[in-house]
């Protein structure tokens, strides 16, 4: 069974020769360590293939956010010695020194509710290079290829500023909802481009929660956000079917989203990622309640066990997830976000050695 068949069977709750695995991202600093290669010599495409083949990972996410907006202008150097960048969205940020972890936002382009009606998104053509990369991965490898698009919250908290997004949801909800609608429509057009390129799965990213629960009221999500996510999903799936394809749509949110899982199922998601255990996402409970409706992806702890645990700790963590959620399909084993640069190489190999040796019931 090849990578694509294994993931496809897992999504549709079929039988597989082993548990499917996937990683949306592995930090290139860590990948260079895995290959024992100088970071400056790391080739994003060919060396990433080597890492995924070495670890025998089935699903690969194509990087469609961190590097998708071209650098528009370097405004200077920070006191810490890092570049201050104005990107294609008009955001000003300080580059991060920690691989692909988020850069530090300094200034947002939308500063008032009135700016919402004046702001223009970058041309969708800036994502053509992502589509080209997707096409290359699909044609030249047998990995199951997914791509990420935004929903109506995560990216917008950068365009508006986090505090403004939260405040305007109470004081200027009609303006904010107008932006949400336009942004989700914009992202559905990007998804169409990826479908034409051959992508096999769309991941809709929209962080809704923190460690202890939702970041905003469930009422706001249900009345002002989810209807637009539903429309976005419907456009994506309808377009895929017009091309003779069935494209699953997974939903990504960090944090504890237990309160709205059923809402997400109702708007049409096919899978959930990353199910953070440190935020109270008990995969056994989620599997019991929703496992026959959606695919679960993630749940290997990235806060403590992967970066700081021993190989034995990692082995036990992987077995915990497999024991809790691997029965009757519907599981893609993954980290509960991504493999960051601080994860020991031995722990990475332990994850996949444990999967290889795991005996399904």
Among residues of the chain, what percentage have pLDDT more than 70? Answer: 95
Confidence of residue 350 (pLDDT cuts 50, 70, 90): very high
> Is 316's pLDDT higher than 90?
yes
Q: Residue 235: its pLDDT value, please?
A: 99
Query: Cα–Cα distance between 296 and 265 in angstroms, integer?
Result: 12
- pLDDT exceeds 90 at position 171: yes
Residue 100 has pLDDT above 50, yes or no: no
Q: Poorest-confidence range of 91-100, 103-112, 167-176? A: 91-100
User: How do residues 226-268 score in pLDDT, each as one tens digit?
Assistant: 999 999 999 999 999 999 999 999 999 999 999 999 999 999 9
DSSP letter for each residue of 14-27: ---SS-EEEES-B-
pLDDT tens sequence across 336-345:
999 999 999 9
pLDDT of residue 36 exceeding 90 = yes
Q: Give, in order, the Cα–Cα distances in Å from 208 to each of 85, 128, 218, 261, 360.
A: 27, 28, 10, 11, 33
The pLDDT score that the predictor gives to residue 66 is 47
Task: Kindly state the average pLDDT of the residues 332-359.
Answer: 96
Q: What is the pLDDT of residue 115?
A: 97
Domains in the chain, CATH or no CATH each: 3-70+109-357 (3.20.20.210)
**127-141: per-residue pLDDT in tens?**
999 999 999 999 999
Q: Cα(302)–Cα(307) distance, rounded to whole angstroms?
A: 7
The C-alpha atoms of residue 78 and residue 55 are separated, in whole angstroms, by 38
Predicted TM-score of the model (pTM): 0.95
Q: Does 273 score more than 70 pLDDT?
A: yes
Q: What is the DSSP letter of 225?
A: I
Average pLDDT of 345-359? 96
**Does residue 216 contact residue 260 with C-beta atoms inside 8 Å?**
no
Please name which of 79, 91, 13, 19 lies closest in space to residue 332, comparing C-alpha atoms: 19
pLDDT at 85 > cutoff 80:
yes
Predicted local distance difference test score (pLDDT) of residue 83:
86
Nearest to 207 by CA among 315, 102, 301: 102
Question: Which residues lie below 8 Å from residue 106, measured CB to CB, with a gap of 6+?
Answer: 84, 92, 93, 94
pLDDT at 97: 65
Coil, strand, or helix at residue 146? strand
193: pLDDT strictly greater than 60: yes
Query: Residue 9: its pLDDT value, please?
Result: 98
Q: Check pLDDT > 80 for residue 50.
A: yes
| pLDDT one-digit tens code per residue, 320-330 | 999 999 999 99
Q: What average pLDDT does range 205-214 have in this prediction?
A: 96
In this prediction, residue 304 carries a pLDDT of: 97
Average pLDDT over residues 161-185: 97
- Asked whether 52 and 62 are in contact (CB, 8 A), the reply is no
Residues 6+ apart with CB under 8 A from 20: 6, 7, 9, 10, 58, 59, 331, 332, 333
**DSSP one-letter string for 95-110:** PPSSTTSPPEEEE-S-
Q: What is the pLDDT of residue 45?
A: 95
pLDDT of residue 181: 98
Q: So what's the pLDDT on residue 87?
A: 86
Residue 286 near residue 257 (C-beta atoms within 8 A): no
Instruction: Please determine, for residue 62, whether its predicted confidence score (pLDDT) is greater than 60.
Output: yes
């Amino acid at each position: 069974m090849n990578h694509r068949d294994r993931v496809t069977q897992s999504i549709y709750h079929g039988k597989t020769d082993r548990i499917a695995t996937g990683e949306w991202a592995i930090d290139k600093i860590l990948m260079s360590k895995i290959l024992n290669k100088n970071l400056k010599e790391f080739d994003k495409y060919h060396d990433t293939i080597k890492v995924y083949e070495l670890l025998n990972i089935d699903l690969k996410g194509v990087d469609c956010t961190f590097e998708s907006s071209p650098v528009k202008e370097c405004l200077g150097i920070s006191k810490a010695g890092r570049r201050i960048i104005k990107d294609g969205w008009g955001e000003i940020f300080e580059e991060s020194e920690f691989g692909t972890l988020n850069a530090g936002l300094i200034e947002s382009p939308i500063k008032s509710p009135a700016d919402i009606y004046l702001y223009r998104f970058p041309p969708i053509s800036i994502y053509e290079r992502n589509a080209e990369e997707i096409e290359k991965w699909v044609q030249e490898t047998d990995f199951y290829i997914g791509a990420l698009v935004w929903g109506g919250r995560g990216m917008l908290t950068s365009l508006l500023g986090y505090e403004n997004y939260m405040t305007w949801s109470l004081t200027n909800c009609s303006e904010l909802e107008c932006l949400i609608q336009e942004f989700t429509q914009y992202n559905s057009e990007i998804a169409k481009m990826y479908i034409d390129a051959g992508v096999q799965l769309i991941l809709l990213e929209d962080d809704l929660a923190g460690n202890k629960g939702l970041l905003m009221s469930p009422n706001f999500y249900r009345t002002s956000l989810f209807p637009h996510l539903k429309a976005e999903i419907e456009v994506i799936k309808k377009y895929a079917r017009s091309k003779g394809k069935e494209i699953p749509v997974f939903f990504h949110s960090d944090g504890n989203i237990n309160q709205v899982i059923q809402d997400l199922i109702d708007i049409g998601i096919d899978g959930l990622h990353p199910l953070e255990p440190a935020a109270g996402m008990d995969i056994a409970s989620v599997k019991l309640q929703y496992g026959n409706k959606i695919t679960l992806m993630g749940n290997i702890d990235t806060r403590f066990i992967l970066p700081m645990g021993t190989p034995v700790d990692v082995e036990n963590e992987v077995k915990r997830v497999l024991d809790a959620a691997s029965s009757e399909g519907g599981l893609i084993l993954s980290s509960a976000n991504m493999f960051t640069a601080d994860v020991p190489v031995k722990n990475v190999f332990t994850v996949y050695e444990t999967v290889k040796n795991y005996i399904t019931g």
